[in-house]
Amino acid sequence: MRRHVIRLFFGVLLFLWVMTFPCAFAEQGTVSVDWNAQLKKAQDGIEKNPRSAFWHNQAGVAYDALGDFSRAVSELKLASQLDSGNATHDYALYALYKRKGMTIQQKRVLLSAVKKDPNNPIGHFELGSMFEAQKRWTNSLAEYRTSKKLAEDVKSGQYVDPKGNNYDVSAVREEVDTRITRVTRQANHEASHSPTSSR
C-alpha cells in the first residue's frame, strides 16, 4: 500500500510539473488517467483519515483535472494547513493560480513555497519568470542565477526536498541559460535607453 501511495504521489508531482512547464512535455505524448476513480480513492482516504494532507492534496489535484477549480483550491489549501511545512502543496496551488492568471495569489503561494524550501531550483526559476513578466530585471536575473546554481548542485535529474518530494529539474537546466541571456539583454537595453544614460 505504501509503495502505491508513493508512486501516486510522485505521479501527482509530475502532473503538477506538466501544468507548470507544459512545453517540456509537448513531445512526450499523454497518459490516460481516470480522474473520477482517483477522486474516489482520495475521498475514501479522507473518510478514513480526515486530517491526511496527502489525501486532501490528491483530492485537490483530481478536482482540478475534472474542472472543479474552487474545490481543488479548497482541498489544496486544507492540505497546506494540515502539513504546513511541506512546500509541495504550495506548488500545487501555484500551478492552479498560474493557469488562471491569478498573479497575486500565485505570487503569495510561490513565496511561501520558496520560504519553506529555499533550495528547490524550480521555485527560484518560477520567481525569476514572475519577476521577468513584471520587468523587474534585477530580481529576475538574481532568481534565475540562483535556480541555475541550485540545479547544477542536484546530482541527478531529480531534486528531493526535505520532505522527500521529488521534482524533475531537467526543464530548468534546459531553459535557464536562455532566460538569463534574455533578461540580461532586456536589462542592458533599458539601461542604455534610460534618461540618465544619455546625459
Residue 13 has pLDDT above 50, yes or no: no
Contact 52, 46 (CB under 8 A): yes
User: Looking at residue 189, what is its pLDDT?
Assistant: 87
pTM of the predicted structure, to 2 decimals = 0.80
Query: How many angstroms separate the Cα of 60 from the Cα of each of 42, 82, 110?
Result: 9, 14, 17
pLDDT tens for each residue of 89-123: 999 999 999 999 999 999 999 999 999 999 999 99
**How confident is the model over 173-192, as a mean pLDDT?**
93
Residue 10 has pLDDT above 50, yes or no: no
Residues in contact with 139: Cβ distance below 8 Å, sequence separation at least 6, in sequence order: 127, 128, 131
User: Looking at residue 140, what is its pLDDT?
Assistant: 97
Query: How many angstroms separate the Cα of 179 from the Cα of each of 9, 35, 87, 187?
Result: 30, 35, 24, 12
